[in-house]
Amino acid sequence: MKEAAVCIYCPEPANSLEHPLPAAFGEFADAPYLDDRVCKACNNTRLGVLDEQFARCGPEGFLRRHYGVRGRLHHEAVNPFYRGSAGGQRLEFKAYDEQIGTEVLIECEGGVYRQVRQLIFVEKSGTAHHLPIREGTTPEQLRAAYPQVAAEDLAEVRLLCDDDERPWVEALISAASPKARFGWTETPGTTVYDGAVGTVVMTNRYFRAVAKIGFHYFLTQFPEYCGHESAFSDIREFILDEASTVDRANTFIGKRQLPLLVNMLDPRARPAGWRGHVLAAEVKDGTCLAHVQMFVSEDWPAPIYTVRLAKMTGVANRAAGHLYVYRDDRPNYAGDACRLGTTPTNIVAPPLTPAIQSS
């Protein structure tokens, strides 16, 4: 028998509708929801920062921009190439620009790539420092963000911005540095880059989001559990633990090497343009597990994170899963959430590898 409708994370009433797959990745027809298990405060605030960082600052933040995936329209539009979110760092992609003769920051939207609006500080040694300039920046913020480079070490400062942006950008820079001179400016444009290198920083909030997604999806597929059970106390505590170090994720999360989708054993089975997400849950030999795989596609080797939720006794093995597929012919949805069938297999899955690898 389920306990009363109390939040699984605090004593407040559980009165919200939770999306196991964060709504930032779109609304999917027939998707499972977790109803009345989490209070509005936890859903929107304590857990909301996990979804926000997961959807904007990790690899998924880049892939959302690459594929042009939109979340809820009423949420603030944030370009993750200009600033981070929920305590996470901004996405940074650099490529060498032959015309400019140095590396530049680049951004993407819907598969189109271009230079970021930026200042480039070039040392005499040739080392370049990049500073994105986003709309709404104050002179004080810009001055505080200048790289710590001694003036005598600078060979030049370059400005990249569109022609229609130049008046307000130059006014901003002049207010931050009255002695600034604009001897070299360039207008960004769509360009083809070879060998671009991206940097994303995944914090404890990123992996706690993975754990939260897996845990909440598990509860939608195993309604005999309410989430309050003592066996889930460790995973609940980890999801809420703001003070934990990032490597604590290895206690609960590992990378699965065996594909969740049988046909994904052969990369050629991925149709051109196809992309989606996989959430799965199972009880196997007394262990409650969840699997999270984001942006499975023809050109992305999407990692599979397996979340170890709890140990149980006297429960039968069972599994469930959903494939969230993007479709262009769904006017009110991003696509469909299709229930997956489970197929017995004799393949022995190799051990999970740690989510956080030691360098």
CB 246 within 8 A of CB 204: yes
User: How would residue 208 be classed by pLDDT, with cut points 50, 70 and 90?
Assistant: very high
Q: What is the distance between the alpha carbons of residues 256 and 340, in angstroms, rounded to a whole number?
A: 18
Query: 199, 218, 237: which is the final residue of a domain?
Result: 199
The burial of 344, by beta-carbon neighbours within 10 Å (0-12 exposed, 13-18 middle, 19 or more buried), is given as exposed
Considering the domain architecture, whether residues 134 and 207 belong to the same structural domain is answered as no
Answer whether residue 218 shows pLDDT above 50.
Answer: yes
User: How would residue 344 be classed by pLDDT, with cut points 50, 70 and 90?
Assistant: low
Higher pLDDT, 179 or 245: 245
Burial track 53-74 (b if 16+ CB lie within 10 A, e otherwise): bbbbbbbbbbbbbbbebebeee
% residues pLDDT > 70 (the chain)? 88
Average pLDDT score over residue span 76-82? 85
> Is residue 60 assigned to a domain?
no
Considering the domain architecture, whether residues 135 and 228 belong to the same structural domain is answered as no
> Is residue 9 assigned to a domain?
no
> Is residue 7 assigned to a domain?
no
> What residues pair up with 34 in beta bridges, in sequence order?
18
Query: 154, 184, 199: which is the final residue of a domain?
Result: 199
> Is residue 305 assigned to a domain?
yes
Considering the domain architecture, whether residues 236 and 149 belong to the same structural domain is answered as no
Answer whether residue 257 shows pLDDT above 50.
Answer: yes
Answer whether residue 341 shows pLDDT above 70.
Answer: yes
Phi, psi torsion values for 93, nearest 5 degrees: -125, 130
Q: What is the distance between the alpha carbons of residues 63 and 49, in angstroms, rounded to a whole number?
A: 19
- Give the pLDDT confidence score for residue 123 in this predicted structure: 82
Considering the domain architecture, whether residues 189 and 213 belong to the same structural domain is answered as no
User: How would residue 152 be classed by pLDDT, with cut points 50, 70 and 90?
Assistant: low
Considering the domain architecture, whether residues 181 and 316 belong to the same structural domain is answered as no
Considering the domain architecture, whether residues 229 and 331 belong to the same structural domain is answered as yes
Q: What is the distance between the alpha carbons of residues 244 and 294, in angstroms, rounded to a whole number?
A: 24
Considering the domain architecture, whether residues 219 and 330 belong to the same structural domain is answered as yes
- Give the pLDDT confidence score for residue 150 in this predicted structure: 52
Average pLDDT score over residue span 206-226? 97
Number of domains observed in the structure of the chain:
2
- Give the pLDDT confidence score for residue 248 in this predicted structure: 96
Query: 199, 226, 256: which is the final residue of a domain?
Result: 199
Q: What is the distance between the alpha carbons of residues 241 and 341, in angstroms, rounded to a whole number?
A: 35
Answer whether residue 76 shows pLDDT above 90.
Answer: no
Q: What is the distance between the alpha carbons of residues 117 and 133, in angstroms, rounded to a whole number?
A: 6
Measured between its terminal Cα atoms, the distance across the chain in Å is 47
> Is residue 39 assigned to a domain?
no
Answer whether residue 111 shows pLDDT above 90.
Answer: no
26-56 tens-digit pLDDT: 999 999 999 999 999 999 999 999 999 999 9
Considering the domain architecture, whether residues 258 and 335 belong to the same structural domain is answered as yes
User: How would residue 265 be classed by pLDDT, with cut points 50, 70 and 90?
Assistant: very low
305-334 tens-digit pLDDT: 999 999 998 888 999 999 999 998 888 899
> Is residue 58 assigned to a domain?
no
- Give the pLDDT confidence score for residue 75 in this predicted structure: 57
> What residues pair up with 88 in beta bridges, in sequence order?
none
> Is residue 229 assigned to a domain?
yes
Answer whether residue 69 shows pLDDT above 60.
Answer: yes
Q: How far is CA 278 from CA 252, 261, 264, 275, in A?
A: 19, 9, 12, 10
- Give the pLDDT confidence score for residue 178 in this predicted structure: 80
Considering the domain architecture, whether residues 114 and 136 belong to the same structural domain is answered as yes
Considering the domain architecture, whether residues 126 and 208 belong to the same structural domain is answered as no
pTM, two decimal places? 0.91
Higher pLDDT, 288 or 344: 288
20-24, 87-91, 101-105: which has the minimum mean pLDDT? 101-105
Q: What is the distance between the alpha carbons of residues 191 and 114, in angstroms, rounded to a whole number?
A: 6
Residue 58 sits at the vertex; the CA angle it makes with 240 and 56, to the nearest 5 degrees, is 85
Considering the domain architecture, whether residues 223 and 294 belong to the same structural domain is answered as yes
Considering the domain architecture, whether residues 233 and 193 belong to the same structural domain is answered as no
Higher pLDDT, 199 or 262: 199
- Give the pLDDT confidence score for residue 2 in this predicted structure: 47
- Give the pLDDT confidence score for residue 350 in this predicted structure: 86
State which residues form the domain around 190.
92-199
> Is residue 262 assigned to a domain?
yes
Answer whether residue 190 shows pLDDT above 70.
Answer: no
